[in-house]
Amino acid sequence: RPCAIVDPSQPMSNAGCSSVLPAPCRQAGHRAPLPLPAAPQFVARFRSNRRLRVTCASAAGHVSRIPPTEARRVRSLAGSRHRPPPLTRIRSGTPRCAYVEKMLVAETASLLDVHRKDREARIRKQLRKVELPPSPYDTAWVAMVPLRGSPHTPCFPQCVEWILQNQHENGSWDINDFGSSANKNVLLSTLACVLALEKWNLGQEHIRKGLHFIGRHFSLVMDEEIAAPTGFNMIFPGMLSLAIGAGLQFPVRQTDIDGILHQWEMELKRSVDGKTLAGQKSYGREAYMAYVSEGLGNLLDWNEVMKFQRKNGSLFNSPSTTAAALVHNYDDKALDYLNMIVSKFGGAVPTVYPLNMHCKLSMVDSLEKIGISRHFSSEIEGILDMAYSFWLQRDEEIMMDVATCAMAFRLLRMNGYDVSSDELSHLAEASNFHNSLQGYLSDTKSVLELYKASKVCVSEHELILDNIGNWSGSLLSEKLCSEGVQGLPILEVEYALKFPFYTTLERLDHKRNIEHFDARGSHILKTECL
């Protein structure tokens, strides 16, 4: 069988190229040795990055690298009648490379498909059931509720046990696994947990570590540049005063503590009276004072606070506010609410409940904005059907929150549901919004949702939407001019004002939303952002 050998008579001018001639078959009986050329060339093949490279070396150079014993063997072969070593047959590697490439492409596609399916499964799970993270702050306040008729016994001992089992090594309580960072939210949660343990005279070592953590990071409390949870300036000083009254010693300079308490007193003077410049009570201010009532204690009229109780027995769907009210003013419906969430979530409760509809509508909105909602059509249809049912029933979970109400209206109408703008009539005037809790807090997210909802008109006679669009657009423009919007929301506000949804190209809008997508929550609460 012929094989390919190098023709030494042909010059090799280019690396990677060679001239080959078929070797004649050996004839029977012919025993003449194959003469050794004066300057043989040896060919070696190497594969690198799927390319073949042929390297040639002169015989002299090659022999110079052969050990003496091997060199003598080569010379003896030249004068012997023995057959020389066979030459290496050159084979093409292209078919095998192509096969490997196809296998790699197939495996990569399979892995990508698996990752895509995993992501889809996670999203479907979240759409079907919202998983709320535990809140150490709210859990601590629930743990402080005494058993009725037994003021020295906790009503929810499982919450107390959770506090004892979930302190980080640095002395803090935080929902993060490692507790490596300190911020105002962590300080608030840690102080609440310390108060809960002190109330029941448990975990003295936990208390000591918690107090030292607060002392090490006390400078964060007075730093106005650091973002703070809603009502922090009212709640933290009030809890600090409560802790000092209980005899707890903070490793902090007394001047720093006095400064915090002085600011708190000044804030109380501006807020407790609940008066506006016109001399009339502000519902928004009263709602705010009730919302942050944990930091006010006996300074509040708790009968007035209970006016904000909802049908489910809670105050603002907040476990901490409801628990604080129950500590100062026993109420059967409030106790039923706390029993319900403790039974549902175990020893640790979330920072707000229920919040299912807001979270689910936010997820639907995000999926539609980035153009992948078609992959979850059945789940989205179920969520919108539920939202429509809540809308018709005027359920508190939608109607009592401005942002949720506006978002539900926009998503339902854009997906073909028959919803009337009359349900937004209470927000047709700017004064009504400013008289709400979100208005008192100057919640930009709520204003932006109202502005987006105002653009989903089906008739030119919807004056309610026109009025909402006028005042909300003006308010957003003022916030931009006064730099009242910080971070990513400023991009959303600018884009919404310049390009209403009916003026954008869908694919380009999806691309832009993907580029500016932010997975972090935007529902601002006392201790968390969801």
Q: What is the pLDDT of residues 237-255, one digit of tens each?
A: 999 999 999 999 999 999 9
In angstroms, the CA 339 to CA 336 distance is 5
Q: How many domains does the chain have?
A: 3
pLDDT of residue 482: 79
Find the mean pLDDT for residues 49-55: 41
pLDDT of residue 90: 43
Q: Is residue 102 part of a domain?
A: no
The confidence band for 37, taking pLDDT boundaries of 50, 70 and 90, is very low
pLDDT in tens, 256-267: 999 999 989 888
Does 329 share its domain with 390? Answer: no
Q: Which of 288, 293, 336 is nearest to 311 (CA)?
A: 336
In angstroms, the CA 251 to CA 247 distance is 13
Does 316 share its domain with 446? Answer: no
Q: Is residue 212 part of a domain?
A: yes
Q: Is residue 426 part of a domain?
A: yes
Find the mean pLDDT for residues 55-83: 46
Q: Is the dihedral of CA 433, 437, 439, 440 positive or negative?
A: positive
The confidence band for 280, taking pLDDT boundaries of 50, 70 and 90, is low
pLDDT in tens, 362-377: 999 999 999 989 999 9
In angstroms, the CA 440 to CA 289 distance is 11
pLDDT of residue 272: 59
Measuring CA to CA, how many Å separate 27 from each of 23, 30, 31, 32, 88? 12, 6, 9, 10, 21
Does 199 share its domain with 316? Answer: yes
Does 306 share its domain with 174? Answer: yes
- Residue 437, amino acid: L
Instruction: Identify the residue with better confidence: 59 or 132.
Output: 132
Does 195 share its domain with 53? Answer: no
pLDDT over 90 for what percent of the chain?
47
Does 341 share its domain with 361? Answer: no
Q: Is the Cβ–Cβ distance between 453 and 469 less than 8 Å?
A: no
Does 171 share its domain with 49? Answer: no
Q: Where among 30, 58, 74 does a domain terminate?
A: 74
Q: Is residue 105 part of a domain?
A: no
Q: Where among 292, 324, 345 does a domain terminate?
A: 345
- Residue 401, amino acid: D
Q: Where among 316, 345, 374 does a domain terminate?
A: 345
Q: Is residue 309 part of a domain?
A: yes
Find the mean pLDDT for residues 418-444: 90
Does 158 share its domain with 303? Answer: yes
pLDDT in tens, 448-462: 999 999 999 888 889
Q: Is residue 107 part of a domain?
A: no
Does 47 share its domain with 146? Answer: no
Q: Could you tell me the two tokens for 104? A: 């790699």
In angstroms, the CA 305 to CA 302 distance is 5
Does 339 share its domain with 389? Answer: no
Q: Which of 47-61, 109-123, 396-410, 498-512 has the highest mean pLDDT?
A: 396-410
Query: What range defines the domain where residue 64 resides?
Result: 4-74
Query: Residue 318: pLDDT above 90?
Result: yes
CATH of the domain at 385: 1.50.10.130
Does 252 share its domain with 177? Answer: yes
pLDDT of residue 247: 94
Q: Is residue 508 part of a domain?
A: yes
Q: Is residue 447 part of a domain?
A: yes
Q: What does pLDDT average to over the chain?
A: 80
Does 167 share its domain with 256? Answer: yes
pLDDT of residue 43: 42
CATH of the domain at 319: 1.50.10.160
Q: Which of 354, 442, 461, 369 is nearest to 407 (CA)?
A: 369
Query: Residue 71: pLDDT above 50?
Result: no
Q: Could you tell me the two tokens for 132? A: 């709320």
